[in-house]
A and B are shown apart, each in its own frame.
Chain A
Amino acid sequence: MTSIAVSTTINGDDVEFLCNADETLLDVLRNRLGLMGAKEGCGTGDCGACSTIMDGRVVCSCLVLGAETQGREIETIEGMSEGQDLHPLQAKFIEHAALQCGICTPGFLMAAKALLAAHPDPSEEEIRFWLAGNLCRCTGYDKIVRAVQGAAAEMRGAKT
């Protein structure tokens, strides 16, 4: 199989990689770039554990081909914190005990980040529908919703 050369931006850095035509962005991140924060829970876009942000939109990276990311901007969980400073969503997820096993957490954080970029003051219903594409089997979502509410309040407070 002939590999495809791809130039893209990941977490603000220029990245070049070779991939096969049938490789997904998730395969590339995990197997070629060593970015294993995105998880494969289903491979069919149903669980959201591989959520990343591409050009500002949440995507299931298992449904994006690696070759499709040519010239795009990709954000992954590995780029969420600034050095040692956790993003408010990350801090609030820990503070609110919004994770148990944690396998879904990176995906939830990426989806929640996109939510708060679009809706800095989301209602509970908006949070629940924005996060409906991310499955969590441990928490029953209660503490996840509260963590997102907490982070939204903090981020709004920080801006004013």
Chain B
Amino acid sequence: MTFDPSYKEQGLKSVGTRPLRPDGVDKVTGRARYGADFNMPGQLVGRVLRSPHAHARIVRIDTSQAEALKGVKAVVTAADLPDQSNGDAATFAVLDNCMARKKAMYDGHAVAAVAAIDASVAKAALKLIVVEYEVLPHVVDVDVAMAADAPVLDETVFTTGVEPAPKTPSNVANRSEFGHGDVEAGFAKADMIVERNYKTEQTHQGYIEPHACVANCNSDGTADLWVCTQGPFVYRQVCADLLGLDVSKLRVTSSEIGGGFGGKTHVWAEPVALALSRKAGRPVKLVMTREEVFRASGPTSATSIDVKIGAKKDGTITAAEATLRYTSGPYAGMWAELGAMTSFACYDLENVKTVGWEVVVNRPKVAAYRAPSAPMAAFAIESAVDELAHKIGMDAVDFRIKNAASDGSKSSYGPVYGPIGIGPTLEAAKSHPHMSAPLGENQGRGMACGFWFNFGGQTCVDLNIGADGTVTIAVGTVDVGGSRASLSLITAEELGIPYENVKAIVADTSSLGYNDMTDGSRGTFSSSMAAISAARNAIQVMRERAATMWDISVDDIIWEDGHAKAVGATHDNLAPLSVADIAAEAGNTGGPIAGHSELVADGAGVSFGTHICDVEVDPETGSTRVVRYTVIQDAGKAVHPDYVEGQYQGGAVQGIGWALNEEYVYGADGRLQNPGFLDYRIPVCSDLPMIDTQILEIPNPNHPYGVRGVGETSIVPPLAAVANAVSNAVDVRMFHIPVSPPRILAALNAQAKG
């Protein structure tokens, strides 16, 4: 049956309600099983040896003493994970990051691993591995790495995207450019121009659950991986590629996931665990320590961004330009490109140009973190926009409203927008009581906007109707924050049955067709699309069964309110059949009833938000407290409003941490100085006020219920909203995130000196 995903306004019974989540009891009783909560018979403990150097040639590794230690069952190095990338640079980069080959590229880079009978033997074995390093000059700062005299990390990196192609290698992997119009002509028309450089520091997703897996390679060539991941199907493919396994012989089961935020979309130690298991012939459990999580997994880019924006006195922006330099760790990604795409997405601009520079440095490989690359760009752009509004004497919200993109605007990154939420979120901010509330001494208010694309992608759902008429849906998108509830709600709505009659489970890779990861705010958007399609297929089957039961034509049967109903004068006296009625007779009408769907969920609606933040700054210490915070964001349709609010609040607080406090601190030796939650301080309960939320619903025309992704946009505005609030509180512009006490004090001292 052809699936029509277009939005139709309709009365809703389940979607938009707030029922209890199906996995709640497991999670409040300690019964939910996460990555480290699974064991297998005969399981070994895996541990990884990591480079203490930021950049070093690996001259020699001697594992003989470790192998000889009693209780050690396997030791692996790069030699046990041979390069099978066939020249594919991206695959090679993943492999090299999992286990260093010729060089250690950052402090914490894996160089060897052991599997032993217990943790203390494994730990002792690591100390017996001899690694001879030739320490090389390193570079961690993005601007320094781009300089002509910087140590070059990789002799095979020649900048792409520039003409003519460079003849010498450098740390600049890629140049990307977006925009339209003529920015020079636009700046010539401006009455006022703001031109600034902004910097942001590297942060970590900070999920509370460290990476954890249990790997088991069997002697018959089959393998199993239990792992906390946002994408079991992607992990299966990547692990199989790296280890030379047949994809169909590797079964990946995703555990409950203790936070990911993008950091669990990339493989880290999982291929190493599989290699250890293959060599030892026994299951291997490998759990990272918190220090390993910080040193060797998932940080964001650190950035340096130049922004130039010009406007007329009436507030019309005439031109906008940004140059964005993003670190990517030792391997190129598309982080600067994403920053360049998102920079000016909130605005309707005649002349706009953004250039992204992807820069390799001796830091851990950058991973996605919630709307990856957008928060840093938004910090720079929204700071400059704020300053420009101030300079031309316009209210910061009015200035943004005047320039906001709307239906039909050509976006700064190319596409023309449909119905979007930036204007409505700004209007809502303007009229929000928060905006006019009085401020106290040393307090300031800031606001900022944010954008994220959202993603759809490959999706597959199985829907089975039980003999009692209850329904199970098997989905392939990992539930990171309540999607089993939202998908059950949508399935219930589509079938016309109660929420309690639907159970959603996350299937493993051998039980369901391929699904893309839970990323790009796609979990509820894409899996609900497939669930709706599967439900419609099941309804078709149930109509046919009803036709058999009644012995009438299927064309005379409609589906309404969870029942098959006969229509037409001759059938009026037939009582409607419920799902349970039809399911009870399934054995006599053709067997079990199911619906299936596989599709590419196109048309993920873009997402916009506007945040308002009040801070209080202690002028003596530079310490800053957020005293009030409001998130306004377009959800398209909030399927389960509690968990939409939760996404808004959680993203905002991650952004607040990034804005005020979180940063990777490197020593002169290139070693990470703060790889722990004590020194890398994420926001705690006592740091924060309640986080107010306002959900706007501007339907996505490409989803039957108007759903847009909601997970990521909330982390985009806070960096700028907080920095603008601090700037307004102390009357000094802040250009470097985090605006930690030392940076605020330095800015205040510089101002005092004039």
Interface residues of A (CB under 8 A from B): 1, 20, 22, 30, 35-44, 46-47, 49, 76-78, 80-81, 86, 90-91, 93-97, 99-106, 109, 125, 127-129, 131-145
Contacts and interface: CB of A to CB of B under 8 A. Distances in A.
Contacts of B20: 94-95
A140 B650 contact: yes
Contacts of A77: 28-30
Contacts of A102: 23, 26-28, 32, 256, 258
B120 A140 contact: no
Given A39-B34, A95-B20, A132 B686 contact: yes
B691 A137 contact: no
Given A36-B30, A105-B28, A135-B682, A41 B209 contact: yes
Contacts of A136: 208, 685
Contacts of A132: 684-687
A47 B31 contact: no
A66 to B, nearest CB: 14
Interface residues of B, number: 57
Interface of B: 18, 20-21, 23-34, 36-37, 120, 205-210, 256-261, 287, 289-290, 480-482, 642-643, 645-646, 649-650, 652-654, 676-678, 682-688, 690-691
Contacts of B649: 139-140, 142-143
A103 B682 contact: no
Given A44-B677, A46-B676, A80 B29 contact: yes
Contacts of B289: 43
A73 to B, nearest CB: 18
B28 A40 contact: no
A143 B731 CA distance: 34
A101 B677 contact: no
Contacts of A37: 29-31
Contacts of A93: 24, 28
Contact of B481 (A91, A109, A138, A144): A138
Given A42-B677, A99-B27, A101-B256, A139 B682 contact: no
Contact of A90 (B29, B33, B207, B643): B29
A138 B28 contact: no
Contact of B677 (A20, A22, A47, A128): A47
A135 B677 contact: yes
Nearest to B692: A142
B678 A46 contact: yes
B261 A137 contact: yes
Mostly helix, strand, loop or mixed at chain B's interface? loop
18 contacts: A78-B30, A80-B28, A90-B29, A97-B643, A100-B646, A101-B209, A101-B258, A103-B34, A103-B208, A105-B28, A128-B685, A129-B685, A131-B685, A132-B686, A137-B206, A137-B261, A138-B259, A142-B690
Contacts of B645: 97, 143
B676 A44 contact: yes
Given A103-B209, A141-B653, A142-B690, 8 more contacts: A94-B20, A97-B646, A106-B30, A137-B207, A137-B261, A140-B650, A142-B688, A143-B642
Nearest to B258: A103
A-B complex: 10 closest residue pairs judged by Cβ atoms: A37-B30, A103-B258, A102-B27, A140-B653, A94-B24, A140-B649, A97-B642, A46-B677, A77-B30, A100-B481
Nearest to A127: B685
B256 A134 contact: no
Contacts of B207: 101, 103, 137
Contact of B650 (A40, A81, A90, A139): A139
Contacts of B33: 36
Contacts of A47: 208, 290, 677
B331 to A, nearest CB: 26
B25 A134 contact: no
A125 B687 CA distance: 10
Given A137-B261, A140-B650, A41 B208 contact: yes
A109 to B, nearest CB: 6
Given A44-B676, A100-B650, A101-B480, A140 B25 contact: no
Contacts of A91: 28
Contacts of A41: 208-210, 258, 290, 677
B595 to A, nearest CB: 29
A22 B18 CA distance: 46
Contacts of B256: 101-103
A97 B144 CA distance: 46
A87 to B, nearest CB: 8
Contacts of B258: 39, 41, 101-104
A135 B690 CA distance: 16
Nearest to B33: A36
A143 B678 CA distance: 24
A131 to B, nearest CB: 4
B520 to A, nearest CB: 18
B28 A86 contact: yes
Nearest to A102: B27
B37 A36 contact: yes
A127 to B, nearest CB: 7
A102 B650 CA distance: 13
Nearest to A136: B208
A100 B643 contact: yes
Contact of B290 (A44, A80, A86, A99): A44
Nearest to A41: B208
Nearest to B651: A140
B16 to A, nearest CB: 14
A20 to B, nearest CB: 8
Contacts of A139: 646, 649-650, 653
A80 B649 CA distance: 28
Contact of A94 (B28, B30, B209, B643): B28
A105 B685 contact: no
Nearest to B119: A27
A28 to B, nearest CB: 13
B120 A22 contact: yes
A119 B25 CA distance: 26
Nearest to A34: B39
Nearest to B631: A140
Nearest to B693: A142
A100 B261 CA distance: 12
Contacts of B652: 140
A99 B528 CA distance: 22
Contacts of A144: 685
Given A80-B29, A136-B208, A143 B646 contact: yes
B102 to A, nearest CB: 32
A41 to B, nearest CB: 4
A140 B206 contact: no
Contacts of B27: 99, 102, 105
Contacts of A145: 685, 690
A101 B261 CA distance: 11
A65 to B, nearest CB: 15
Contacts of B687: 132
B131 to A, nearest CB: 24
Contacts of B34: 39, 103
A131 B687 CA distance: 11
